[in-house]
Amino acid sequence: MPDSTPVRLEKDGRVATIILDRPERRNALSLEALRALRATASEVAADDAVWVVVLTGAGDRAFCAGADLKERKGMDDSQVKECVLEIRAAVGDIAALPQPTVAILNGHAFGGGLEMALACDLRVMDEEAQVGLPETSLAIIPGAGGCVRLPRLVGVARAKELILLARRLGSEEALRIGLVNFVAPHGTAAETGSEVVAALLKNGPLALRAAKAAVDGGLGLPLQGALEQEFSCYSRILPTLDRQEALVAFAEKRSPEFKGE
């Protein structure tokens, strides 16, 4: 039977939290879960009241174990290809969210789970968690962006080492090579993530979106094209009320009260 709620969406003020909710399967990505995730991402992307998005997993064993290999075992080659394309699309939907995204790795993140985290803007990792792309040990390769996003994040040589050797990393090494941004004491990843979210919410929400678009849009472009992309994003912010509020608040020596306008 399909999962009743393989993905949950919780909203608290300006924050939307997407929860992979299959703890009994270590939040593995079944087709049902992937379709629910895509629908949830679409809903969040269209909600201007959401300023920051959090992605995490239910339970305390795993953020996401990757593809549901139990489900995949019964698939033929064409079905596996369909599943991989669905994972790739879901990861792409997370990457394309206009809001800044924070992945809270409350447990292990392997394969498609790590690829999902790589699609987020910031990553918080429990100190006892592990991450990795073990696909080559299963005679396949990362197919949902791992071969593309990981080298852009940690460099080509390091990414090849991790992918070709199917290495699993602990939190200390993941932080050292820049794969994650923050490491939290065991059991407190959610609290550390909340601190990161609170820091984001202090900044102009439209500016956060524009800065994300400038960075993401400039990747792969020649220098001049990337600079033009940055200026285009900057120009969208100039007429906003939030920018005027920031200037007034600075003059009055108070914290600005942004409205996303």
pLDDT at 146: 97
pLDDT at 1: 42
- Please say whether the beta carbons of 15 and 195 come within 8 A: no
- Look at residue 16 and tell me if it is in a domain: yes
Q: Give the tokens for residue 74.
A: 């019964």
pLDDT tens for the chain, residues 1 to 261: 445 789 999 999 999 999 999 999 999 999 999 999 999 999 999 999 999 999 999 998 899 999 888 888 888 888 888 888 999 999 999 999 999 999 999 999 999 999 999 999 999 999 999 999 999 999 999 999 999 999 999 999 999 999 999 999 999 999 999 999 999 999 999 999 999 999 999 999 999 999 999 999 999 899 999 999 999 999 999 999 999 999 999 999 999 999 999
Element containing residue 162 per DSSP (H, E): helix 156-164
Kindly report the CATH number assigned to the domain that includes residue 239.
Answer: 1.10.12.10
| One domain for residues 136 and 163 | yes
The region that residue 164 occupies, defined by phi over 0 for left and psi between -120 and 50 for alpha, beta otherwise, is: alpha
Considering its fold, how many domains does the chain have in total?
2
Residue 55's nearest CA partner among 162, 196, 258 is 196
| One domain for residues 180 and 215 | no
| One domain for residues 118 and 72 | yes
| One domain for residues 19 and 131 | yes
pLDDT at 155: 97
- Look at residue 193 and tell me if it is in a domain: yes
CA–CA distance, 71 with 30 (Å, rounded to integer) = 7
- Look at residue 256 and tell me if it is in a domain: no
pLDDT at 229: 97
- Look at residue 183 and tell me if it is in a domain: yes
Residue 206's nearest CA partner among 232, 154, 241 is 241
Containing domain of residue 62, as a range?
Answer: 7-201
Distances (CA, A) of 147 to 119, 125, 144, 256: 12, 21, 8, 41
| One domain for residues 66 and 145 | yes
Kindly report the CATH number assigned to the domain that includes residue 18.
Answer: 3.90.226.10
The residues carrying an active-site annotation are 67, 112, 115, 135
